[in-house]
Amino acid sequence: MEKTEDITTNADLMKLLDSLLREPETFWNQFYEDREKPIPFFEHVPDENLVSYISDYAIPHGRVLEIGSGPGRNAIYLAKQGFQVDAVDLAQKAIDWGNERAKEEAVEVNFIHSSLFDLEVEPERYDLIYDSGCFHHLAPHRRISYLDFIQKALKPEGYFGLTCFVPDGPLGGAVISDREVYEKQTLNGGLGYSKERLRSLFNRFDPIEMREMRETQDPTLFGVNGLMTALFKKEKRNNLNGSKTVVSSM
């Protein structure tokens, strides 16, 4: 008889759908293998919008999680500002690079090699969650779990910041429907999101600021054309309870 793998859990279904698109961990490890590639965000400077969030809004300098941290440019910046930083990435190559940079900068960042969807944290742990370039690489079937994670992990009145591709931008930003993602079995390099679509997808949070990233020649900041930025706030009444805790304190 032909051997089949039965889908018996939601996790089984998620992994099957992931495999129809690509093996993400292998891809990203290869992506970070060559550190000399002319990739704009390989530069060791923070996003200009993140810097503005810290200076313009009363975000408590407590604990922060960066999703898809790569080699740590934003995580290290936040650590320098006095935050306690957890930084998660699927690629071990990126984690290794981030740890090297943090050691060179003499700052402490808790880099975690994991998929976000395997990461368990105690409820209401973070004052700020930041994602620079992970969300637009998520397939549609992962969005619900992504949103649930953020809502659970943020403290009441905590902030969530996001940077992603604009639709049909110079860096990427495929304009295809969720159905087409599976029909074509590709994200076309990453999905593009308009302000309106982000507002709709993140409607469980209050939008604070939504704009395109500002291009800048300031060598201490990362700012390029083709990215959308957004800052949301969790309402106080969205208080969730839970019991699981895995991420350790620094």
Report pLDDT digits (tens) over 2-11: 455 788 998 8
Sheet architecture: strand order including 63-67: 110-113, 84-89, 63-67, 126-132, 154-165, 227-233, 206-212
pLDDT tens sequence across 50-76: 999 999 998 999 999 999 999 999 999
Strands 227-233 and 154-165: antiparallel
CA Rg, the chain, in Å? 18
- Kindly report the pTM of this predicted structure: 0.88
Return the domain boundaries, the chain: 10-233
Quote the distance between the C-alpha of residue 15 and its chain's center: 19
Architecture of the domain defined by 10-233: 3-Layer(aba) Sandwich (3.40)
Residues of the chain predicted below pLDDT 70: 1-4, 22-24, 237-250
Q: What's the confidence (pLDDT) of residue 38? A: 79
**162 — phi, psi (to 5°)?**
-145, 140
Please state, as a whole number, how many other Cβ atoms lie within 10 Å of the Cβ of residue 244.
9
Query: Is 192 within 8 Å of 177 (Cβ atoms)?
Result: no
User: CA–CA distance from 102 to each of 96, 117, 126 (Å)?
Assistant: 10, 25, 21
**Residue recorded with tokens 């839970």:** 242
